Structure 1
């Protein structure tokens, strides 16, 4: 079985690259994914990271929707503790009006950053309390529906009418809501709500089989979905030769080593910078073998075969690729040459 392919984009920022150039490269990549037949294109939410420009999935999704005609676009995901549910609902209802039938709203429970950024995101008051995550998922589902949601004003008697709230005045459709996670919590909640679910395998493969089993075994059919629906994410680097794929993998491997080791974060190194630094500090060496077992790195034929085997082993018909191929020094700042080639070879 050949699985459908989708894309997860963190809008990587390499050394010497501006945010404008990084975003331009990602929007070109979204357009290329559309042309190649990829199913969906999602933007992650991360904050205050020198190598990541995907801070605002709704804004990036709007730009990608304007540059594409067929592919679904959305978030992978919006980190709900950072935002008021009504704001999220309004943003994605507007996106659905911009690109009807093409909007996905992937929602996660993690803050997506450090305590300082979390404090800054909540300066205007408490937003989406983590303990109320299930309640806020229900709110968003109702608010984005054509029927809207009903709320009783605080202090009013029980018999009073509900106050109607709509994320957009006259919706004819709603974004498709997915729950995302890398632990048992979101798998169990998605099953209880009858919602589609994605395990963040690109970030951490630990607990993958358990999370899928929990989701599938406990799934309750709902008005949104009558059977479990899931896919998996994975990092990939495909190139014309295995040697090139290994070279383009190294900068991202070194970034993962920095994250895991609590080292200061920097812009993503180029291939040459990473190779030079690795010869002296061996930063990625302890991780490389483990990452290669979980990532898809190699020629197009090898990477495609690995993706297909991965999908079959876990019983999914779709794999969302995070193309983590880094750039060489000479490649244009406003293009994603290695990432585009990864998508082309995987789609061949």
Structure 2
């Protein structure tokens, strides 16, 4: 039984043969079902110019979902600070928090949100990648402006996203809860979280270290079905191993006949060993083991499968293995 609150990271995969606008419409039904199931949080990720992931701004998806749900916390996982003026993030998320008090999270990350260099430069108005100092200044300015702009109004709950010790160090320095991307850099998890806890400085935002662990999770009635559903994302990952970010998100049938190289097969198996794929019992046990190993306060599940119905089924099956007191509502 999973004993900590559990949330979902939605990246709105654009299915092969499906229009992006239809994927966008599915996000509303997905949010309402997660709300009905009692999941703690639903976060949206910022991506740009990808054939596999919709370029849907998190702030817009949060506002859309908040209007048709009642309890689930909604947030960004994350908005990418180098792409946005701090005052705009403060105004946008401050407004959302005022309209939906106690339900809005501001997860801030650093990456460009795209694998296309021209798109990355366009997002930065021609500037190169943010330096460590620029990123720190952007995060600090956003937090300061949140307080200044909203005065006595309700504030969103800020989180810093990280996948490295450097990100963990910044979260510790600023006294922010950390959402760690175990689903991206699992080899970094234990060392980064140890550094975070050892160097954490309490702040107005967070009195003690607080860890949310994001895990790739594909749950189905059988391990064979879970493997079939995970196939499309394996194809996308194999492209990333080759330095390609332009791989469309295939159907499970297309993924089933994809020819992986021996190196890709080994790399995918090694990555999968750190995640949670399989039957409900297997997935629940794996997630519980990760909580025990990392002492995470919360889990967030990233479920990059082809059809929204299959994604929802994964969350429905797993909900039976989450302790009722862990909803945190």
Length-normalised TM-score, structure 1: 0.86
Please say if 1:205 is aligned against 2:195: no
Q: 1:256 aligns with which of 227, 230, 237?
A: 237
| Deviation (angstroms), 1:282 | 7.2
Q: 1:115 aligns with which of 107, 117, 126?
A: 117
- The residue aligned with 2:93 is 92
Q: 1:243 aligns with which of 224, 247, 258?
A: 224
Q: What stretches of structure 2 of length at least 5 have no aligned partner?
A: 321-329
Q: 2:266 aligns with which of 286, 290, 294?
A: 286
Asked if structure 2 preserves the Cα contact closer than 8 Å seen for 1:253 and 1:291, the reply is: no
Q: 2:54, 2:302 → 1: CA distance?
A: 15
Question: C-alpha deviations, 1:120-162, integer Å up to 9, x for none?
Answer: 11338899765322222222112112xx1xxxxxxxxxxxxxx
Q: 1:134 aligns with which of 133, 136, 140?
A: 136
Q: 1:94, 1:69 → 2: CA distance?
A: 17
Residue correspondence of structure 1 range 198-347 to structure 2 within 5 A: 198-263=179-244, 265-278=246-259, 284-327=264-307, 336-347=308-319
Higher relative contact order (CA 8 A, sep 6+): 2
The number of residue pairs the alignment matches comes to 318
Asked if structure 2 preserves the Cα contact closer than 8 Å seen for 1:128 and 1:136, the reply is: no
Question: C-alpha deviations, 1:90-113, integer Å up to 9, x for none?
Answer: 111121122111110011122222
Q: 2:143, 2:36 → 1: CA distance?
A: 31
| Deviation (angstroms), 1:267 | 2.2
| Deviation (angstroms), 1:326 | 2.6
Q: 1:129, 1:93 → 2: CA distance?
A: 26
In structure 2, relative to structure 1, the CA distance for the partners of 1:171 and 1:257 (3 Å cut) is farther
Of 59-68 and 108-117, deviating more is 108-117
Q: 2:201, 2:297 → 1: CA distance?
A: 20
SS of the residue corresponding to residue 60 of structure 2 reads: helix
| Deviation (angstroms), 1:308 | 1.1
Question: C-alpha deviations, 1:14-36, integer Å up to 9, x for none?
Answer: 11111111112222112111111
Asked if structure 2 preserves the Cα contact closer than 8 Å seen for 1:8 and 1:322, the reply is: yes
Q: 2:130, 2:268 → 1: CA distance?
A: 37
Asked if structure 2 preserves the Cα contact closer than 8 Å seen for 1:80 and 1:128, the reply is: no
SS of the residue corresponding to residue 39 of structure 2 reads: coil
- The residue aligned with 1:78 is 79
| Runs of 4+ displaced beyond 4 Å | 124-130, 280-284
Please report the RMSD computed on the Cα atoms of aligned residues, expressed in angstroms: 2.1
Asked if structure 1 preserves the Cα contact closer than 8 Å seen for 2:82 and 2:124, the reply is: no
Asked if structure 2 preserves the Cα contact closer than 8 Å seen for 1:245 and 1:325, the reply is: no
Q: 2:81, 2:177 → 1: CA distance?
A: 17
Asked if structure 1 preserves the Cα contact closer than 8 Å seen for 2:76 and 2:105, the reply is: yes
Of 286-295 and 26-35, deviating more is 286-295
